[in-house]
Amino acid sequence: MAKDQGITMKKDQDVSEWYTQVVIKSGLIDYSGVSGCYVLKPLSYQIWEKIQKEFDKKIKKKGVKNCYFPLLIPESLLKREQQHIAGFEPEVAYVTQAGSTKLDERLAIRPTSETIMYDSYSKWIRSHRDLPLKLNQWNNVVRWEFKHPQPFLRSREFLWQEGHTVFATKEEAEAEVLDILNEYSLICEKLLAIPVIKGKKSEKEKFAGAEFTTSIETILPNGKAIQAGTSHYLGTNFSKAFGITFLDKQEKKQFAHQNSWGISTRLIGIMVLMHSDDSGLVLPPSVAENQVVIIPIAFEKDEQVLKEAKKLEESLKKFNPILDLRTEYSAGWKFSEWELKGIPIRIEIGPKDLENKQAVIITRHNKQKTPVKLAIIEKAVQSSLDQMQEDMFEKAQLILKHSIRETRTKQDLLSAIEDKKLALTPWCNTLECEEKIKEINGIKSINIPFDYQKNISGNCPFCNKPATCRALFGKSY
């Protein structure tokens, strides 16, 4: 493979340039004519379909039904919940004209669907018998404010799912918030081999219009945290703004309790940053459309080698293998190309392998070569894929574990972040304190992790007030 076709920047030298090269050269995305809007090529869309299929199956078992609401939202609807629109206003793109006709009212291009969906909910819900209402949609959204878009991580248009559920009681709603958060963590850990930290967002970082927000977060090898999914308890904020009421069993009018929750194609970018290397993309087997590529090493069109390679393709059909029979490229060129594209397992077979009734399995994440007898190759491939999925998660888990440093003083916290760590520190959890924190060199609260809230003691390192929780601080995408 020509040098300019492969990855020319090392991950540990310039992660931003390396990442851009990986997502472009591996065939995940292409640029479009609009800054921040990207073409998702089949390789990346197949990954999104795997995520979609897995999560869709889970939520349907919980009684959630899929639907679709319009892309365009009247500005008057968007502004019905003031706290909500205040949080989104800088990011909203509007349609103001159709052809040569100026519209009477601006139409927002969906930044999120609470307002348009809840206008309908107010018409549909009348009685406690109409609850719970559990709807989800798989769609695109547009958010325009930021200046430095990055494929998957921060794009102006992206794909996601947004669940919007309605309950009669606060207890039911809050239980679902945590249930969905757990499902998101399983998607990341089991499918994408990404370990996450579950927790609650601070008052400043919560979703605009929510009572509270929960999130899953992880830290990438470059020391930056990134949010992977959120689940929000909206309380009765939107039901009061939109008149979503019901008659309870005692025939008394009540405001409904609501949730919203979502994950997006950002997960693909997190996966790339977490696992990929200087040779290109590394795909967890669970999301790889093609788990195996077979490369015959045949000299002068060795018919026996080609025949055996085709037999291998047939016997390994469950792994959706690619049989690379191209003659215009050398074996070495093919090796590099399939490494760049992240195929989990490469199988090489040549004349000497035939003599020994074997083939050679190479696993993408560690490039380990293992000769395997042809008689047991299906079993060996499955075992290698399972081990690769486990290895990738364990490696990422170690990165996360070693990237969290417990601190108690402001100086220790700043040192930890300087060392590209997340600082876990006692905190007062007040909005006034956090407003001052944001002025310190790009530091922000990541979340208040559920697993670190026992035996809290000490004072906040920022304002010296008594700590009420432990929170993670760091730099993030």
Looking at the fold, whether 185 and 313 belong to one and the same domain comes out as no
Q: Are residues 83 and 205 both part of a single domain?
A: yes
Same domain? For 114 and 237 the reply is yes
Is residue 364 a part of any domain in this protein?
A: yes
Which of 247, 275, 303 terminates a domain? The answer is 275
Residues 75 and 220 grouped into a single domain: yes
Q: Residue 146 belongs to a domain with what CATH number?
A: 3.30.930.10
In the chain, the largest separation of any two C-alpha atoms, in whole Å, equals: 85
Both tokens assigned to 392: 């990738």
In this structure, the answer to whether residues 97 and 129 fall within a common structural domain is yes
Q: How far is CA 252 from CA 100, 128, 234, 248, in A?
A: 51, 10, 22, 5
* Shared domain check, 221 and 312: no
Q: Is residue 415 part of a domain?
A: yes
Is 28 inside any structural domain? yes
pLDDT of 2 above 60: no
DSSP for 36-85, written as a single string: T-EEE-HHHHHHHHHHHHHHHHHHHHTT-EE----SEEEHHHHTTSHHHH
| 196 and 79 share one domain | yes
Q: Of the candidates 248, 275, 302, which is a domain's last residue?
A: 275
Q: Among residues 214, 218, 281, 128, which one has the least CA distance to residue 474?
A: 218
Confidence (pLDDT) at 318 = 98
Q: Which of 265, 388, 395 is nearest to 403 (CA)?
A: 395
**What's the CA gap between 95 and 6, in Å, rounded?**
41
Written as six digits, the tokens of 272 are 């790339």
pLDDT one-digit tens code per residue, 268-296: 999 999 999 999 999 999 999 999 999 99
Q: Find the domain containing 460 and state its range.
A: 404-474
Q: What's the confidence (pLDDT) of residue 253?
A: 98
Q: Are 188 and 51 in contact (CB under 8 A)?
A: no
pTM above 0.85, yes or no: yes
Q: Within 10 Å of residue 431's Cβ, how many Cβ atoms?
A: 9
* Domain at 374, CATH number: 3.40.50.800
Which CA distances in Å does 209 have to 134, 151, 176, 315?
Answer: 19, 28, 18, 55
Residue 74 CA to residue 219 CA, distance in Å, equals: 38
pLDDT in tens, 93-136: 999 999 999 999 999 999 999 999 999 999 999 999 999 999 99
- Asked whether 280 and 342 are in contact (CB, 8 A), the reply is yes
Residues 409 and 315 in one domain: no
Cβ-contact 286, 269 below 8 angstroms = no
**Total number of domains constituting the chain:** 3
What is the structure's pLDDT at 113? 96
Instruction: Pick the closest to residue 447 from 279, 212, 277, 286 (CA basis).
Output: 212
The pLDDT confidence band at residue 83, using thresholds 50, 70 and 90, is confident
pLDDT tens-digit readout, 302-361: 889 999 999 999 999 999 999 999 989 999 999 999 999 999 999 999 999 999 999 999
Torsion of CA 395, 401, 403, 404, to 10 degrees: 170
In terms of pLDDT, which residue wins out, 477 or 189? 189
Burial class of residue 346 (count of CB atoms within 10 Å of its CB; 0-12, 13-18, 19+): buried
Q: Looking at the predicted structure, is the pLDDT value of residue 233 above 70?
A: yes
What residue has token string 């319009």?
A: 70
The answer to whether residue 81 scores a pLDDT higher than 90 is no
Tell whether 391 is covered by a domain.
Answer: no
> Do residues 199 and 260 share a domain?
yes
Tell me the pLDDT band of 4, cut-offs 50, 70 and 90. Answer: low
Judgement on whether residues 294 and 263 belong to the same structural domain of the protein: no
392 within domain boundaries: no
- Using CA of residue 72, residue 75, residue 80, residue 82, what is the dihedral sign? positive
* Residue where a domain stops, chosen among 327, 349, 384: 384
- 135 located within any domain: yes
**Is 249 within the bounds of a domain?**
yes
User: Per residue in 234-262, pLDDT tens?
Assistant: 999 999 999 999 999 999 999 999 999 99
Q: Which whole number is the average pLDDT over 395-407?
A: 95
Task: Note whether 316 and 424 are same-domain residues.
Answer: no
pLDDT at residue 425 is higher than 70: yes
Q: Are residues 111 and 161 in the same domain?
A: yes
Contacts of residue 290, defined as CB under 8 A and 6 or more positions apart, other chains included, come to 319, 320, 321, 322, 343
For the chain, the average pLDDT equals 95
417: which DSSP letter?
Answer: H
pLDDT on residue 300: 64
Q: Is residue 352 part of a domain?
A: yes
- Per-residue pLDDT of 163-209, as tens digits, reads 999 999 999 999 999 999 999 999 999 999 999 999 999 999 999 88
What is the per-residue pLDDT for 310?
A: 96
Residue indicated by tokens 């060199």? 441
